[in-house]
Amino acid sequence: MTIHIGADKDDIADVVLMPGDPYRAKWAAETFLTNAKCVHEVRGMYGFTGEWNGNRVTIQGSGMGMPSMSIYANELIRDFDVQTLIRIGSCGGMQDHVKVRDVILAMTACTVATPSSTIFKELNYAPVADFDLLHKAFHAAEGMDVGVHVGSIYSSDTFYDERPDLNKEMQRHGILGVEMEAAELYTLAARYGRRALGVMTVSDHLLTGEALPSDQRERSFGDMIEIALKAAFA
């Protein structure tokens, strides 16, 4: 049990899927897991543990932004000895060929700053996904009726961005999408020798202005959860 995760150590599985929204964690657990049990709800940030195809898995909300992700990932790794952490969440598309409802597998995550930035000082650290997880996620998506893209994303530390000049340069350099958590997750996983991956559904698009209606989001998000689970237990 930690300050932010009110569960016993045995309540948390070695594999944790981390959506930002705690209610998405609840939906995912009820939809994909058998024998799912709420193991804690401190500050309304739900965590559920159950089974998928006989494999034990926890789905834990991380909150919005890298500072919140840093809290939960640190505690899951340091206090619960979690070995595999996969971010599942939404992102904004930043390339013409990336469509709403597509899934992005984040090979790298660039950022302006993360909670870990002060450690590196002048070094521009490059956070990357675990290759084995990335490889398995890519092959898990084969045959599924969903567009899948592998490449770089941008982990922003602001939601209401006012830097169109920066967005333009990222688009010019092939950044696929923008979200708010993966870069810090990858950094922490590297620090502690754990596996991490970001699997994101494109819920809206910065170039076209298109966005998924709220009633279609959960149905579309099911693809990324299935990919994440297959990658974790392949």
Binding positions are 4, 20, 24, 43, 87-90, 179-181, 203-204
Nearest to 89 by CA among 205, 225, 189: 225
Q: Where is the binding site for phosphate, in residues?
A: 20, 24, 43, 87-90
Q: Where is the binding site for a purine D-ribonucleoside, in residues?
A: 4, 179-181, 203-204
161 is catalytic: no
Active-site option among 79, 157, 161, 204: 204
Catalytic residues: 204
